[in-house]
């Protein structure tokens, strides 16, 4: 089997840090699930989400990887654990504990996993401190939500954090969380339809704020193929060409900026992956599955291979692009 890195997999700990006081609002805990292989993430006394032990079991993950064509996983926290909505002193405790548990998993299985931690970005100063600590743990970077309590990725108040990530050579993986757009119908439509819009808006915020132009060594990836970005980019670029005000605020064209970002290929179709390659470049797309959740892509590597006939480019998509994103050298 060819080396292949899945950059989009998630971690939920088997247990959470103890709450600071009984009944602390929004503090997560784990309760037994309906089988020994499941757990219920409890928040405010209610079952927020039932997860399988694949979320924390290295052995289960390693057993599943060959069937997906994967030789390594990049593990990041379940986005709902990012905790931006908590007081920063609470979020810091939860996220540090998660980062330390994730680091121990990586230390026990260095040939199978890379890790991305999490930081309480509702306070930029604290987030930078936790980013520095995550680096000491051996994590390759951190996962960020697509918005921070309504603040976009390109918000000037977040600028010091991205400067720190560039300085520390830490990768950034942006995942949709708590979509701002609301839908009618079942609540499940929020992640199903809202996440791609959120990912696209986050990527557009990075582009319109010239984030990577200002920080050329910053490595930032957007989940689910950048969501709606690929569909919006041609319109955006066309308008940029005809509107001097946009050219003044964005000297580097949006299509060119989009090719400075990274994207996972978790878009659930071979034509969708082909569009990512054609839009963003073969050096910017990586395998991703959203493992181990119900909406995961079960064939992240074979879909890439079906989308691209050239074996040298397939190697980029399967493996070397992910190494570049993570700041790792080839084994």
Tokens at 80, concatenated: 């709902």
**pTM for this model (two decimals):** 0.96
Tally of helices (H runs) and strands (E runs) in the chain: 14, 13
What's CA 177's distance to the chain center, in Å? 10
Tokens at 162, concatenated: 């991205």
Q: What is the pLDDT of residue 37?
A: 76
What CA–CA distance (Å, rounded) separates 270 from 301? 11
Find, among 21, 60, 14, the residue nearest to 40 by Cα: 14
Strands 151-152 and 171-175: unpaired
Q: What is the pLDDT of residue 21?
A: 83
Find, among 135, 132, 41, 20, the residue nearest to 86 by Cα: 20
Give the three-class secondary structure for 6. strand
Per-residue pLDDT tens digits for 16-50: 999 888 888 889 998 887 776 788 998 888 888 89
Strand residue runs (E) in the chain: 5-11, 28-32, 38-43, 46-52, 72-77, 113-118, 141-145, 147-148, 151-152, 171-175, 220-222, 262-264, 285-286
Q: What is the pLDDT of residue 33?
A: 78
Give the three-class secondary structure for 90. helix
What CA–CA distance (Å, rounded) separates 202 from 153? 6
Q: What is the pLDDT of residue 184?
A: 75
Element containing residue 233 per DSSP (H, E): helix 229-242
DSSP string, 42-74: EETTEEEEEEEGGGT-HHHHHHHTGGGT-SEEE
Cβ(201)–Cβ(209) below 8 Å:
no
Q: What is the pLDDT of residue 187?
A: 78
Q: What is the pLDDT of residue 147?
A: 95
Q: Set out the domains of the chain in order of their start, with CATH numbers.
A: 5-12+54-326 (3.20.20.140)
Per-residue pLDDT tens digits for 287-326: 999 999 988 999 999 999 999 999 999 999 999 999 999 9
Q: In which order are the strands placed within the sheet that holds 46-52?
A: 28-32, 38-43, 46-52
What CA–CA distance (Å, rounded) separates 153 from 276? 21
pLDDT tens, residue order, the chain (331 aa): 899 999 999 999 999 999 888 888 889 998 887 776 788 998 888 888 899 999 999 999 999 999 999 999 999 999 999 999 999 999 999 999 999 999 999 999 999 999 999 999 999 999 999 999 999 999 999 999 999 999 999 999 999 999 999 999 999 999 999 877 777 778 778 788 888 999 999 999 999 999 999 999 999 999 999 999 999 999 999 999 999 999 999 999 999 999 999 999 999 999 999 999 999 999 999 999 999 998 899 999 999 999 999 999 999 999 999 999 999 987 6
Q: What is the pLDDT of residue 213?
A: 96
């Amino acid at each position: 089997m060819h080396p292949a890195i899945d950059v989009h997999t998630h971690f939920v700990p088997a247990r959470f840090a103890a709450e600071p006081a009984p009944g602390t609002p929004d503090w997560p805990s784990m309760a037994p699930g309906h089988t020994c292989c499941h757990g219920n993430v409890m928040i405010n006394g209610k079952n927020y989400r039932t997860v399988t032990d694949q979320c924390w079991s290295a052995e289960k993950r390693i057993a599943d990887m060959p069937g997906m064509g994967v030789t390594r996983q990049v593990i990041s926290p379940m986005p709902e654990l990012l905790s931006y909505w908590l007081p920063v002193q609470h979020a810091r405790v939860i996220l540090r504990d998660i980062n330390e548990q994730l680091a121990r998993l990586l230390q026990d299985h260095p040939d199978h996993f890379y890790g991305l931690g999490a930081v309480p970005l509702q306070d930029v100063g604290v987030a930078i401190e936790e980013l520095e600590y995550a680096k000491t743990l051996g994590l390759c970077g951190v996962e960020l939500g697509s918005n921070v309590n309504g603040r976009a990725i390109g918000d000037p108040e977040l600028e010091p954090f991205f400067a720190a990530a560039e300085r520390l050579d830490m990768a950034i993986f942006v995942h949709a969380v708590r979509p701002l757009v609301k839908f009618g119908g079942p609540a499940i439509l929020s992640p199903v339809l809202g996440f791609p819009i959120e990912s696209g808006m986050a990527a557009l915020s990075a582009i319109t704020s010239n984030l990577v132009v200002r920080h050329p060594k910053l490595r930032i990836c957007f989940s689910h193929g950048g969501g709606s970005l690929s569909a919006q980019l041609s319109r955006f670029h066309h308008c940029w060409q005809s509107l001097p005000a946009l050219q003044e605020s964005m000297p580097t064209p949006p299509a060119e900026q989009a090719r400075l970002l990274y994207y996972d290929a978790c878009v659930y179709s071979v034509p969708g992956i082909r569009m990512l390659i054609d839009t963003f470049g073969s050096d910017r797309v990586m395998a991703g599955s959203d493992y181990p959740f119900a909406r995961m892509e079960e064939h992240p590597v074979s879909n890439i291979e079906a989308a691209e006939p050239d074996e040298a480019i397939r190697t980029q998509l399967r493996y070397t692009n992910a190494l570049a994103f993570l700041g790792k050298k080839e084994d």
